[in-house]
Structure 1
Amino acid sequence: MPLIVRDHTWTQNLSTVYISVPLKAVKTANVHIICTDDYLKVSFPPFLFEVFLFASINEEKSEARIGNGAAVFTLQKRRDEMWEQLCTNIDKEKQKQIREQAVLKVQEKAVEKSKTKATRIQQEKKYALETMMKLESEERERIQKRKDEVCARATAELDFWRETQRKTAKGNENQIKEQRTSTHDNKPVPQKIKHANTSPADTALVKTDNTITGQMRSKQKTKDLPAPRSAGCIQISFTPRVFPTALRESRVPEEEEWLKKQAEARRAIDTDLAELDDLTEDERNPDWLKDKGDKLFMAGNFLAAVNAYNLAIKLNRKMPALFSNRAACHLKLRNLHKAIEDSSQALELLTPAVSANASARLKAHVRRGTAFCQLQLYVEGLQDYQKALEMDPHNAALRADTEQIRELIQGSTPRSKDEN
């Protein structure tokens, strides 16, 4: 049954009503508000504030602000008048009807808000798609323009190269003709006479001329040919499947993910074993490490005790006492979130709940509840203390602490809870 909040305050003027509701150290995310023209409800478990307004308000113009441990409502009146009181006196049947109407109205608003959000998301997706298509079109045009520019430049360079080659070939031909002309001018003996009375010097000269002409033509052909392409070799390797399952029945992504997780687990185990190579025989015993951590805790060396428990947990993660004792060390060191994690881990290992592990579960609940209270999460801390009290109902100190936390939640005690 929820706890009704009665320590609220309210003021008014002709047009506005101001209501302040204390939130009792509750997180803002856990506050739920329902407001209609004649009804206001604020729910923050385990507390509830409900009021049936004296007159109608303008819900659309009203607003709520949550912060600094209070919810402040600014309600705009429908008519400018002074209210005699904040609440109106109506029977339970009428109250039930107003509650149902308020819930229906909130649900309708939620559906309408969901539809509006879906429409807005659809419009945003449409706009994003149009923008993306426009950007892609501009990118294609830019690439095509770049291609055209490169093609035009390459064509111009090719034409220039061809013209240069043509001029070079023409110059070589003219040079060959000039060499032949000069040779014939110096030796005017016709080629036909070579078979009749040709001297050895004339024969050598003709052979030299032919050799020079052939070399120049060969050099010209070599310049016309493009450079040979570079050769390469692509290595392809195929990895056989690990699972001997028919392809139509296999699930390749799940198998690959499983193999990946197995490899990571093996690497983690290898790393942990490598770290444990330098330990002595006693230091490889988790029970010995637990006793050492307990002695360090009793001596007040909490950080060294945490190190001992850490090493023991690496060797054996199935001992709940290691996590529970490390949680006690973290409480002393003010590592409250780590204390909550270790206590929760210890409670997970202490399953099923039997009488043999009741004492260990009680310690874990008390330590986690203490960490919650030191974080000012009194509701969560009260739940752990209540569970511990169920296991040991005759513990006077535990009962007194539970009552103190309950008083803190109800706002009757100003100081904060700090359990050791």
Structure 2
Amino acid sequence: MKEQQETIQERPNMPVRVDNYTWTQTESTVNVRVPCESRKVDIVSTDEYLRAHFPPFLFEAFLFEAVDDSKSTAKIGDGAVVFTLQKRTRRLWERLTVQTKSKETMKEIRERALQQFQQKVCAESRQKEEKQQEDKRFTLQTMIQLEKKEKDKIQKKKDAEREQTSAELEAWQQRRPAAAEELLQSFNGLLHTRAEAPRKPLPCPIKPDTEEEKVIKQPPKRAGGNIYFTFTPRAFPTALRESRMDEEEEWLRKQAEARGAADADIQELTDLTEEERNPDWLKDRGDKCFRVGDYMGALNAYSLAIKINEKIPALFSNRSACHLKLKNLYEAVNDASQALELLTPAVAANATARLRPTVRRGTAFCLLHLYEQGLRDYEAALKIDPHNQDLQADTQSIRDILQTE
């Protein structure tokens, strides 16, 4: 017993082999069930090898015959890891694993399986990246097509209005001679009637004023005086005793710089039109995609706008909302923090703009179970909008969660 304890102490990191697995089969499939209470399992599977590692336990199987790994699956749940393997040859196996005592053979199979699995993972990663790029291109093309359709619709409407106006103008020009002649005859008849009507004498002839009367009727001159005006150049309605003019002027300066800023690398985006180089146009595209539930399309539009101009806070704030919808919680926190960084200094003019990224970052923190950080953001949002009942209820819910933990 003492020697066994010493051996265990010398190799404390050796995994515990799992032998209490069960397996069943048909002519076409093999089902292997490995007991496992953990949700974090490192799984490796190839045509001839299986491994499930959930420290300190390890399940390893060198399969009796080759299977089709591309059609096989592995699921974790209900206290077990369940492998469903598709046989290449339709027949019953004598046993699940090969009977070999050669450690060299097992090592060779294991290394070959790990290498094949690594190659498969790399290939899947490349395919996933290519699919994401394809989705981005498709989204951008769809946005461009929608914009083109909208432009064509507006142009058709303008053409129809132009044709209608031209038709009305032409009809008016055709009626104009007759209308002018009728108007001239009416005017001549009116003049003739006035000329024939006798003039009545005035009931009281008007006499010119004498020089003395002219002097008397002149109003007296008003006494001279001065009127003083004071003006203020301030752009914010804050009372003077509460003024933060330095911060307010800095915020106005940052807004002006943001509108004039552009990425120097924008010249590299030669495949974009003039409108697609406009961050405001891209933001509007992203807003429309977000409203219809196309969160990935909105994310791509905001990202391109940020690449063009990275000093507009609304772009980061709106992209944070997209990340929240797509459950990219860490990215949501980063974008909301970047928006708040651009919205400094905190003044009354940007209070509404600061409210949105503050709540979005607090929500992302809570979804990450970081309730203390989330509570700080919600309390900061309440300071901006203290009468918001939804904010009050959410803040109280977070406090309740922290009290129960």
Taking structure 2 as the reference length, the TM-score comes to 0.45
